[in-house]
Chain A
Amino acid sequence: MTTQEVNQVPRNKINLEKKDYVGGVSTLCTGCGHDQITNHIVTAFYNLSINPHDVAKMSGIGCSSKTPGYFLSKAHGFNSMHGRMAPVSTGSKVANQHLIHIGVSGDGDSASIGFGGFAHLMRRNLPMTYIVANNGVYGLTKGQFSATADKGAKLKSGEQNPFENIDLCTMALDLGCTFIARSFSGDAKQLVPLLQAALKHKGTALIDVISPCVTFNNHDGSTKSFSYVKEHDISLQELGFIPATEAITVDYAEGTMEVVQLPDGSQLTLKKLNSREHNVHSRLDAAKLLYESKEKGELLTGLLYIDETRSNFSDTLNLCDKPLAHLTEKELRPSREAFSKVMKAFK
């Protein structure tokens, strides 16, 4: 191979190729939305020039939770128990806050069995990217409704869902999550910048990704099928991501583009796509938007809410900069003098 040929393979700022960010071969069904998400994750990490060794990939149980096996094979991963991605991630992130945490959970994993853990992770504002690959059904157990299935949606058998759905974005908003977005697995243009911004966000970034199940929930009557999503998807904004190192001024007409500053200096650009006014910094606006779109039966995608000012869980815990996991015996064990002092109280 000549030098010239090597140079032809694109490389990012840390001299890695895109293939350095891939994982094992997916064993999900052909055409599964989750595999699209996997590809977008690979692109986002590649674009951000993150060293894959610095990443922790987290998941629970279910089709969604298999995906950490399919991206970033150079990163450690934790495919945990059903519904337990949130608490396991909490422990791991607190133990080593320098590790970039990305989790892929599912609607069963986060909205049912792990709903408690989901809620409390949001409250704590744990710094991590929390993706829900949301298809409205339990795939691995062959197609039962999940809690995010819309009321009135139909199973393959024709059975209708009689229950109100759990909207994870609405929940997250109420629980204090500081980055809330909804997207569609097939929308690379939207999801990649969202993922990049999420990975640079200071606290918890939730991305609820509608990710159709081609085997059990892609039929007429489903509200999570490819065709239904394509018909009902309304993008709030056209998104762009500008890394910190590329300090360029975006040229735009006033009032048409908003720039959201992320902690490391990178920027997320939001270009208005329709007449709808939405302030992504307002919790109240976001709530209104979510409730209105639900009433109208729309699938609103894009960045719904962002707050870069709130303290994250590392701040709350007042953690020292060195990861707890790396503290040495000397740093962990108090002195002999301190010991003697403590012991006096028991005499």
Chain B
Amino acid sequence: MAFENGVKKGVFMNQMVNDFVLNIGTVNGSGSQSANTIILKSLFRMGIPVGGKNVFPSNIQGLPTWFWVRASSKGYTGRRKDADIVVAMNPQTLVEDHKVVKSGGVFIYNTDLKVENLKLRDDVTNYGVPFKTLVDQATTVAKIKKLLTNIVYVGVLAELLEIDDEVLQATLVDQFDGKESVVEPNRKAMGLGRQYVQENFKKSEFPIKVQKMDKTSQKMMIDGNTAGALGLVFGGASFAAWYPITPSSSLVENFMKYSAQLRKTEDGKNKFAVVQAEDEISSICMVLGAGWAGARSFTATSGPGLSLMQEAAGFAYYAEIPSVIWDVQRVGPSTGMPTRTAQGDIMLALHSSHGDTKHPVLLPGSPKECFEFGQAALDLADRLQTLVHVLSDLDIGMNLWMEDDFQYPDKPMDRGKILTEDQINQLNAQGKHYYRYMEVDGDGIPYRTLPGTRHAQAPYLTRGSGHGPKAQYTEKSDEYQDVVDRLVRKWETARTLVPKPEIIGQGKKIGVISYGSASAVMKESIDLLSAQKIEIDVLRIRSIPFNDDVKNFIHNHDRVYVFDLNRDGQMYDLIRLDYPDQWQKLKSIRHYDGTPVTAESIVEPVLRTEKGL
């Protein structure tokens, strides 16, 4: 059938306020990000809990991209599969996009698109809008027409949903940094969208509305890469080396941006350095050099980069050099799907490199934790004198999450056991000699000196080859074992220092263990299951090695589901390895199609098992 402007009424759902999923399908490179952010931020500023997910291709221009907005008065801001409102701006996906509208929902589409084989559904209400015609009225500048088309749908949605105009206008201005020359045409295009709705639709009939609430006053909207970068700036990182890779690049870019703003001397010099390396091997090697010299150092990467860093990871472990790898996970194996999300690097990160190696792994569950783990990772690296991995993922790293306001970090930075010239002199006065790899405190962590320390006992030759407690080269079995056995004691110390799991609820028979971005849907999953008379407690792992909370949680439940965002259930396997006597209680559930996790992906398999559904 031909596309028609105006409304084609179908079945309307019951009126919904502040609870809906909006899915906007556009072409990437068309500037839809600004339009989508304005919608998301406006809802947030109206006090409505929201979450945004950008589903984009590994491409610069011309391929399909979607933006999902979840508004939820209850605070469920994770992804939901179906959509109440779909805005279809991309001819390539319009037919498919039409199918994902929930029955009783709304389909808003661009009638200027020449799409064949679209049969408009009767169970949804279809709104045809001539976007091109409207944009032609907004500007004669061909260059910006594409960008303005997206702003027109902001106006259309704002009018239909009844988004507060004052909030919307202010958000528009902020989005374009107050540049009136940019704001003006956008304001005009937005107005044309609103006007078209007023003239052609009855907005009172539109089944979904927004109303001001007060649920976001102590909240903020931020992505995990920006948050992580800020955590690293405020946590004291002074050196970064990197090789650009999706989806981690914006972490380093933000680190550069905020360092340039916040880390200058009075005479304009940099109290930080960022080196764009020739590859990820060099990135991590630069980090090791800087960490050895005494700077708080990190690199950010994703799967393929992490694979390249393996040899150096083992060096950092064995030579005991403070360093941080911030891995924003994407879908593997190999190049995989670079713009899709997963948690598939757990095993790799934990045992990066050959031989007996293991590294503490931090698992932030939100942008807020990315911020907090910025300093935590640097502190742990310095305290434990080792490589620390932080495993974020694309969903956390690149999507805007609604988070509790961040607190200024008051915690002093922990630089660990570094001996100065004076301190070595004091040791000598007590008749003691300093040796780099000697156990002193029983916690497996030796003392280090920084290069440049002017004391005869301070220098040592760092090496990845066999070495004894005095840092000397060795091929002697006992000297070799002395060091590697101490590293096991250090691992036990790490267990007491890494972030503890977060536990929600107690006393239920069923437990769910999750980690990372799954945190976005845990509250919703608990409530959905509860509505089905299945009560669960939840434990969210925030680091490896595990502490006793994990063991006790499994012990105290009859059945424990372990939820992974990878095909093989990597966390499930690690838990089984650590608690072999508990394996019969454990069940693996997994979501690994590359999309951000939904509550359904946890609830459905649990229901299947518990109710035999």
* Same complex origin of A and B: yes
Interface set of A (CB-CB < 8 Å, partner B): 51-54, 56-57, 68-69, 73-81, 84, 86-96, 98-99, 116-117, 119-120, 317-321, 323-327, 329, 331-334, 336, 338-340, 342-343, 346-347
The residue in chain A whose Cβ has the minimal distance to the Cβ of B409 is A333
Contacts of B419 in A (CB 8 A): none
Known: A116-B282, A336-B408. A74 touches B239 (CB 8 A): no
- Residues of chain B within 8 A of A52, CB atoms compared: 459
Complex Cα gap A339–B289 (Å): 30
A sample of 17 cross-chain residue pairs with beta-carbon separation below 8 angstroms, ordered by A number, consists of A53-B452, A53-B455, A75-B451, A77-B462, A80-B315, A87-B285, A91-B285, A91-B292, A91-B293, A92-B290, A119-B278, A318-B270, A319-B273, A329-B412, A332-B413, A333-B236, A347-B220
Are B292 and A342 neighbours in the complex by a CB distance under 8 Å? no
How far, in Å, is B50 (CB) from chain A's closest CB?
Answer: 13
Task: Check: B138 CB closer than 8 A to any chain A CB.
Answer: no
Q: How far is the CB of B178 from chain A (nearest CB, A)?
A: 12
Is the C-beta of B291 less than 8 angstroms from some C-beta in chain A? yes
User: In the bound complex, what is the Cα–Cα distance between A90 and B242 (angstroms)?
Assistant: 13
Residue pair A88, B220 in contact (C-beta under 8 Å): no
Q: Which residue of A lies closest to B450 (CB)?
A: A325
List residues of chain A with CB within 8 A of the CB of B288: 80, 88, 91
Q: CA separation between A346 and B401, bound complex, in Å?
A: 10
**A346 CA to B236 CA, complexed, in Å:** 22
Question: Does B287 sit at the interface, judged by CB under 8 A?
Answer: yes
Q: Could you tell me if B291 and A91 are in contact, using CB atoms closer than 8 angstroms?
A: yes
Whole-angstrom distance from the CB of A113 to the nearest CB of chain B? 10
> B262 and A334: CB pair below 8 A?
yes
The reply to whether the CB of B39 lies closer than 8 angstroms to some CB of chain A is no
B405 within 8 A of A: yes
- A57 lies within 8 A of B461 (CB): yes
Q: How far is the CA of A324 from the CA of B270 in the complex (A)?
A: 9
4 cross-chain pairs, A with B, having the tightest CB-CB distances, nearest first: A91-B289, A325-B294, A76-B451, A91-B286
CA A68 to CA B263, docked complex, whole Å = 35
Interface flag for B69 (CB, 8 Å): no
- Asked whether B43 is an interface residue with its Cβ less than 8 Å from the other chain, the reply is no
Contact in complex: B413, A81 (CB < 8 Å)? no
With a CB–CB cut-off of 8 A, which chain A residues contact B292? 78, 88, 91-92, 95
Known contacts being A79-B461, A116-B282, A334-B233, is A320 close to B297, with CB within 8 Å? no
With A53-B453, A77-B461 known as contacts, the answer to whether A332 contacts B293 (CB < 8 A) is no
**Alpha-carbon separation in the docked complex, A244 to B292 (Å):** 32
Q: Which of B234, B268, B279, B286 contacts A334 (CB 8 A)?
A: B234
Max chain A Cβ within 10 angstroms of own Cβ: one of B279, B408, B465: B408
With A68-B461, A76-B460 known as contacts, the answer to whether A95 contacts B406 (CB < 8 A) is no
- With A318-B269, A346-B220 known as contacts, the answer to whether A90 contacts B465 (CB < 8 A) is no
Question: Considering the chains assembled together, what is the distance between the CA atoms of A74 and B281 in angstroms?
Answer: 29
In whole angstroms, what is the CA distance A89 to B292 when docked? 10
The smallest beta-carbon distance between A97 and chain B, in angstroms, is 10
Docked pose: A162 CA to B556 CA in angstroms: 69
The answer on a CB contact under 8 Å between B233 and A95 is no
* Closest chain B residue, CB of each to CB of A317: B273
In the complex, how many angstroms separate the beta carbon of A324 from the nearest chain B beta carbon?
4
Does B311 lie within 8 Å of A92, measured CB to CB? no
Q: Give the CA-CA distance A74 to B456 in the complex, in Å.
A: 6
- Measured in the bound complex, the distance between the Cα atoms of B464 and A57 in whole Å is 15
B212 contacts A by Cβ under 8 Å: no
Q: B294, A117: Cβ atoms under 8 Å?
A: no
Give chain B residues whose Cβ lies under 8 Å from the Cβ of A74. 456, 459
> How many whole Å from B68's CB to the nearest CB in chain A?
20
Within 8 A of A (CB), among B225-270: 230, 233-236, 238-239, 241, 258, 261-263, 265, 268-270
Complex Cα distance, B262 from A62, in Å, reads 43
Specify the chain A residue showing the minimal Cβ separation from B270.
A318
Question: CA separation between A326 and B222, bound complex, in Å?
Answer: 32
Instruction: Give which listed residue, A81, A94, A318, A338, contacts B239 with CB less than 8 A.
Output: A94
Nearest neighbor of A85 in chain B, beta-carbon distance: B285
Q: Please determine whether A325 and B295 come into contact, CB atoms closer than 8 angstroms.
A: yes
Residue of A nearest to B472 (CB): A24
Asked whether any CB of chain A lies closer than 8 Å to the CB of B417, the reply is no
In the bound complex, how far is the Cα of B336 from the Cα of A313, in angstroms?
Answer: 36
- Residues on B with beta carbons closer than 8 Å to the beta carbon of A327: 236, 238, 271, 295
Complex alpha-carbon distance, A321 and B270, angstroms = 9
**How many angstroms from the CA of A73 to the CA of B458 in the assembled complex?**
10
Quick one: given A51-B454, A54-B452, A120-B282, are A332 and B296 in contact (CB under 8 Å)?
A: yes
With both chains docked as a complex, state the minimum distance between the C-beta of A325 and any C-beta of chain B, in angstroms: 3
Contacts of A91 in B (CB 8 A): 239, 241, 275, 285-293, 297
Across-interface contacts of B454 in A (CB, < 8 A): 51, 53-54
B277/A120 in contact, CB under 8 A: yes
Q: Which of A68, A332, A338 contacts B238 (CB 8 A)?
A: A332
Contacts of A94 in B (CB 8 A): 239, 273, 275, 286, 289-290, 295
Of B272, B293, B408, B449, which one neighbours A96 at CB under 8 angstroms? B293
**B377 is an interface residue with CB less than 8 A from chain A:** no
Q: Determine if A333 and B413 form an interchain contact, defined as CB atoms under 8 angstroms apart.
A: yes
Q: A88-B288, A91-B291 are in contact. Are A76 and B220 (CB under 8 A)?
A: no
Look across to chain A and name the residue whose beta carbon is closest to the beta carbon of B465.
A79
Given A77-B462, A91-B286, A91-B293, are A342 and B281 neighbors across the interface (CB < 8 Å)?
no
Q: Is the CB of A81 within 8 A of B311?
A: yes
Report if B8 contacts A (CB, 8 A).
no
**B473: CB under 8 A from chain A?**
yes
Q: How far apart are A64's CB and chain B's nearest CB, in angstroms?
A: 15
Q: Are A120 and B278 in contact (CB under 8 A)?
A: yes
Closest beta carbon of chain B to A179's beta carbon, Å: 21
Flag if A319 contacts B282 (CB, 8 Å).
no
Q: Does B508 contact A (CB under 8 A)?
A: no
Known: A76-B458, A334-B262. A325 touches B293 (CB 8 A): yes
Tell whether, in the assembled complex, residue A79 and residue B463 are in contact, meaning their CB atoms are under 8 Å apart. yes
For the complex, what is the distance from the CA of A77 to the CA of B472, rounded to whole Å? 12
Cβ–Cβ < 8 Å partners of A321 in chain B? 269
Tell me, yes or no, whether B597 is within 8 Å of chain A by CB: no
Given contacts A69-B461, A78-B292, A120-B277, contact A343 B285 (CB under 8 A): no
Of the candidates A96, A120, A339, the one whose C-beta lies within 8 Å of that of B452 is A96
Instruction: Pick the residue among B263, B273, B285, B406 that contacts A117 (CB under 8 A).
Output: B285
Q: Which residues of A contact B158 (CB under 8 A)?
A: none
Q: Is B221 an interface residue (CB 8 A)?
A: yes
Q: How far is the CA of A81 from the CA of B235 in the complex (A)?
A: 29
When the two chains form their complex, are residues A98 and B452 in contact, meaning their CB atoms are under 8 A apart? yes
Residues 286-334 (chain B) with a chain A CB within 8 angstroms: 286-297, 311-312, 315
Complex contact B294–A53 (CB within 8 A): no
Do the beta carbons of A346 and B295 come within 8 Å of each other?
Answer: no
